[in-house]
Every structure is written in C-alpha cells, then in structure tokens.
Amino acid sequence: MESKASQTKPLIAAVIGVIVVVAVIFLGLSVYHQEGESRSAWLTVGADQASVADRLDINAAVQSIDPVKGELVIRLAFTPKGSLASADGRSAAQDLSIETNSSLKPEIKFKKGQPLSSVDVVVELYNGLYTDYPFDQHQGDLQIYATATTPPATEGDKPVEETIPVSVELFGFVHGFSMQGSASSDTTPTYTEISMEVSRSSSTIVWAVFVMILLWLMTLAVVGVTFYVVTSQRKLEFGSFAWMGAMLFAFVSFRSAAPGVPPLGSLIDFVAFYWAECIVAICLVVMVTVYLTRQPK
C-alpha cells in the first residue's frame, strides 16, 4: 500500500503542475486580449456616412508614437464617395485639397483623375513629459479640412472651390502605448478634429515598476553581503568582487529591458537606477578597501 501511495504522489503532483501551467497560460492570454482592446482607439467622426452620399472618407491609422520627439505619426488613406469619385472609384472627379495640422505636410493636394495615395502626417504631442516614464501622459489633436475645386464652366470664369463633407475613421494601436480618442466639440460635417490621449500600456507600466523593484532588491542584496563581510570578519572571496562588478553592468541591461524607456534622466533613473549604481559602486570600493587593509588571519 505504501509503495502504491508513493508512486501515486508524483503523478498527482505532475497533474497539478500541468493544470497550474495551463491556467497561467490562459490567464496570460485573457489579460493580453483585454489589454489589446482597452489600449486601442477606434472611432468614426465627421459626416454621417449613412446620410451624406457625396463625401470624402479618410482612414486614419496611427503608425508610431515618439514621446521623446513629441510626435505622433498617422497614415491617411482617402476614398471619395458619390459625385466626388471618378467612374473607376480610385480617383477624384475634382481637384481635392486636404488641410491638416501636420508639421510635416499641412496641405495635401490631388489633381482630378490622380490616384489618391496614402500620406503620413505628423501630429504634435503636448501636455506631457517623457521623463515621467512610465507614468507619462500626452495629448495630440488631428484636424482635417477638405475642399474640392470645380473647373470653370466657361472660359474666363474662376474655378469654384467649396468645402466638402469629411468622414474620418481613426484606428490607433501602437505597441507599448494606450490610446484613447474622442471627437472635439468643434467637429462639423466639413471640419474634423479628433483629440487623442496617449499613455503607457498597463504591461509597460507593470514591467517598468518590476525593473525598479528588481534594481532595489539586487542592490539591497549587495549591501547585505558587504555589511556581513565587513562586520563579521568573514573571509573575503574574489567571487564577491566579480559579482559586484558584474552588477554595475547588469543594471544597465535591466534598465534597458524596460519597453520604450527614454534616455537617462527619467523618473525610473531617479527612483532606482542612479541609486543602484551608486550604492553598488560604493559597496565595491568598501570591499576592496577592506581586502587591502584587513590583516590576514
């Protein structure tokens, strides 16, 4: 009986281990999908597509976010509808001019019959400091205004330029960031303004905080070893010197492992990294001093 029980225990432990691993994997997948839905922005603003037939549809997809440069890159794809579209549907039946608040290309023009290629615009990020990483938050606005120009009916007349309804569909999903979008109160069927709020994703914040905690725990371990060796007259081992020296370089790698971490001088540095480097360096100097001055037993 005892032999059977002893054989059954490892099997039960293995089954429990497999169940725990599977549960953890499913939990991770669930958190991944929930975070993906919560950190993405998807909305349509401007002219009502159901009631306005003659309009310009614009698909705005966020490509990248750079808090250090204070830039948000959005790719605009244009699709004319109704009387604005040519017979093939791939070009405009009139000359189009799209004005944006982009610092890179504020005015986009397409000639009649010209294919409407996608264009990247750069939007400024404001009201935030990237040095507050990983708790930094930023804001950005996308403004779009479009006009269509009709050639003159008779020679000598001036071209007729008129504003056209615009419908903008925004999709924002950038790895490492959480993004929320909303239509500004100034938005009309012919003028679109989208306000965007950008912050770090939950996974980025959790990992960055974990890096800070890990830096402090490893630093305290070095302090504990140094204190014990100095106060207890314990024999010094060269392995301790190598371990502490390696920590100085390992901390740099730990800091760099934080996703999207900005250059030195950020919150993560003043809270953990600078202190960890200084304390470990001091402990290493203390250990070397003790080694050089302590009399051999």
Based on the fold, state whether residues 134 and 191 are members of the same structural domain. Answer: yes
Q: Which residues of the chain have pLDDT under 70?
A: 1-7, 28, 31-39, 151-157, 159, 233, 295-297
Based on the fold, state whether residues 171 and 217 are members of the same structural domain. Answer: no
11 within some domain: no
Q: What is the pLDDT of residue 40?
A: 72
Q: Among residues 8, 21, 35, 80, which one has the least CA distance to residue 201? A: 35
Q: Among residues 95, 56, 94, 90, which one has the least CA distance to residue 76? A: 56
Domain total in the chain: 2
Based on the fold, state whether residues 166 and 214 are members of the same structural domain. Answer: no
Measure the CA–CA gap between 244 and 239, rounded to whole angstroms: 9
44 within some domain: yes
189 within some domain: yes
Based on the fold, state whether residues 49 and 181 are members of the same structural domain. Answer: yes
266 within some domain: yes
Q: What is the pLDDT of residue 124?
A: 92
Domain of residue 74 covers: 40-200
* Residue for token pair 């950020």: 266
Based on the fold, state whether residues 284 and 176 are members of the same structural domain. Answer: no
Q: What is the pLDDT of residue 217?
A: 95
Does residue 185 sit in helix, strand or coil?
coil
